[in-house]
Amino acid sequence: MDKYNTFRQDFPVFTYKNYKIDETAENVEISYTFSINGLAEFHPSWIFPKPADFTVKNDLTFDRLAFSLGMAEAVSYWKATCSPTFRTECGELSPEQIQWWKKLYFLGLGEFFYINGINADMESFVNIESTGNFNCTSAAERTAPAGCLVPIGGGKDSALTLETLTQAGMKCRCYAINSRKSISETVRVAGLEENSLITARRNFDRSLVDLNKQGYLNGHTPFSSVVAFSAEITAYLNGLKYIVLSNEDSANESTVAGQDVNHQYSKSFEFEQDFHSYEEKYLSTGIYYFSFLRPLSEFQIAKMFVSHKNYLPVFRSCNLGSKVSPDIWCGDCPKCLFVALILSPFLTSAELAEVFGKDMLNDVNMENYFIELIGKSEHKPFECVGSIDEVNLAVSLAVRNILENGDDMPYLFKKYVDMGAYQPELIDVKNAEYCGKYSETNLLPQEFAALLKKEMERLL
């Protein structure tokens, strides 16, 4: 019997036992207890800063928010055994909410199932049971929220969002989970005060890592849903109306051709819509969650981003490098290569090398990742990368620039030409198509849509 079915048989029940809220004048701490019955108990926690005059005591809305963040966190621990029953002994879930969470778990774990060779189906992969209730019975009255909360990850997308909003005079606070140098530097370059950054502290229970080392199941989870629910808590505590994400249209593309496996599912528009609806129906805070860059592709974002060159020395998008202090570009992963490729038409070779600390495009060890990124493989890299078409456009534009300037062709681009992928006759048509792209499949409020279109006209 394979691991998946063995673990499900041996550990049939996962329990979300409780969440506990502790409050001081400066912070709210939420601690959780999850268990895989008969195997392990987990105790992750969060600490959120808050204004001294704000209290969450006897606040049903905050109870719902705290419980929901626990539901988003729990899937990381549940996946170790994929127990067929997921029982919540706290909070309350209606049948409709249970279906909402099942959808998030199933699609958000698409890569996890694929990599582990698990043949799961939506209906039977887990049965969620809700047996608890909330500690409070009524929501506190709050003043109407105002202003923007911009989650910052340290990469080019959130930097572009923050720069555009602040230059337009929008009142912005920034949000980070366990802040890194690239995040604080992005806030500084945007011209905001240090106290504009609100940092939540997430304490992951490392005992899960010990289980993974013992052979229990591991893999990618929908972390952006954790960002969504924790940002919702931060906006609520600080009276902010808009949660302004920086997810783009390219995040909707499947990672595996012909399959419903998307590494970026919780960054997709489908999840954005679902979260927006969940907030309205079941949380009802008055906070509006949307992605400012949703109408755009990664290609457009890269072209717009490089016009703000003061961010080039500080931005970072490498997941491996984020685990180093201070965070770096590792220069060896598909995410680093993707960013180098998408920026390559708009920066010189020297500028690119300065960003990454090495010549990414002449690195022969990047060849396999390159093949995946241009769509000549079974799947794209399991990373937050752009669509295959826009990577090909970026590479083609960069190749044409090199040919026209008589510069030396880097190794990866020479490979691209030799394999017959370079099609100069299509470049101008594709470039015009992408530069003029504006997907109407978005949730931008009118004032933000007008602002984005104005910025597109100015820069593109």
Q: For residue range 386-396, what is the model confidence (pLDDT) as tens digits?
A: 888 999 999 99
98-135 pLDDT, tens digit per residue, is: 999 999 999 999 999 999 999 999 999 999 999 999 98
The token duo for 60 is 């049903």
d(CA 448, CA 432): 24
Q: How far apart are CA 458 and CA 162, in angstroms?
A: 17
Residues 249-296: tens digit of each pLDDT: 876 776 666 666 666 888 899 999 999 999 999 999 999 999 999 999
In this predicted structure, what is the pLDDT of residue 100? 98
Mean pLDDT value across residues 402-419: 93
Mean pLDDT across 1-19: 94
Beta bridge partners of 256: 379
Q: CA angle at residue 156 from 151 to 160, to 5 degrees?
A: 70
**Strand 45-49 with 13-23, pairing:** unpaired
Mean pLDDT of the residues in the chain: 93
User: Strand 172-177 to strand 40-42: parallel, antiparallel, or no bridges (unpaired)?
Assistant: unpaired
Report the predicted TM-score, pTM, of the whole model to 2 decimal places.
Answer: 0.94
The position carrying tokens 């390559």 is 344
Write the CA distances from 36 to 66, 127, 453, 455, integer angstroms.
21, 15, 49, 50
Q: Which pairs from 329-335 meet CB under 8 Å and 24+ separation? A: 329/355, 329/356, 329/357, 331/356, 331/357, 331/358, 331/360, 331/363, 332/365, 333/369, 333/383, 334/369, 334/372, 334/373, 334/381, 334/383, 334/385, 335/381, 335/383, 335/384, 335/385
* Burial environment of residue 145 by CB neighbours within 10 A (0 to 12, 13 to 18, 19 or more): middle
For 25-64, give one letter per residue: b (16+ CB within 10 A) or e: eeebebbbbbbbeeebebebbbbbebeeebebeebebbbb
What DSSP line would sit under 249-262, residue for residue? Answer: GGGGS-SBTTSS--
Q: How far apart are CA 75 and CA 86, in angstroms?
A: 10
Task: Report pLDDT digits (tens) over 35-88.
Answer: 999 999 999 999 999 999 999 999 999 999 999 999 999 999 999 999 999 999
pLDDT at 418: 93
Measured between alpha carbons, how far is 119 from 127 in angstroms, rounded to an integer?
Answer: 16
| Residue 71: Cβ-neighbour burial (10 angstroms; 0-12, 13-18, 19+) | buried
Q: How far apart are CA 130 and CA 249, in angstroms?
A: 35
| Residue carrying the six token digits 């719902």 | 64
Please check the confidence at residue 141 and state whether its pLDDT lies above 90. no
DSSP letters spanning 387-422: -HHHHHHHHHHHHHHHHHHTPPPPHHHHHHHHTT--
* pLDDT for position 137: 78
What angle (nearest 5°) sits at the alpha carbon of residue 103, between those of residues 97 and 104? 90
Give CA–CA dist 90/403, Å, rounded. 64
- Average of pLDDT values for 22-31? 97
Place of tokens 């394979």: 2
27-36 and 127-130 as β-strands: parallel, antiparallel, unpaired? unpaired
pLDDT the model gives residue 257 = 61
Cα 298 to the chain's mean position, in Å?
A: 14
**269 sits in which H/E element:** helix 269-278
- Model confidence at 34: pLDDT above 80: yes
Residue 422 or residue 82, greater confidence: 82
91 in Cβ contact with 72 (< 8 Å): no
pLDDT at 324 (0 to 100):
80
Q: Length of the chain, please?
A: 460
Q: Which residue has the tokens 């970072």?
A: 316
Evaluate if residue 1 carries a pLDDT over 60.
no
Is it true that the peptide bond before 222 is cis, omega within 30 degrees of 0? no
Question: Helix 427-435 crosses helix 388-405 at what angle (to 10 degrees)?
Answer: 120
Find the angle CA(93)-CA(232)-CA(64) to the nearest 5 degrees: 25
Q: What is the pLDDT of residues 226-250, one digit of tens each?
A: 999 999 999 999 999 999 999 988 7
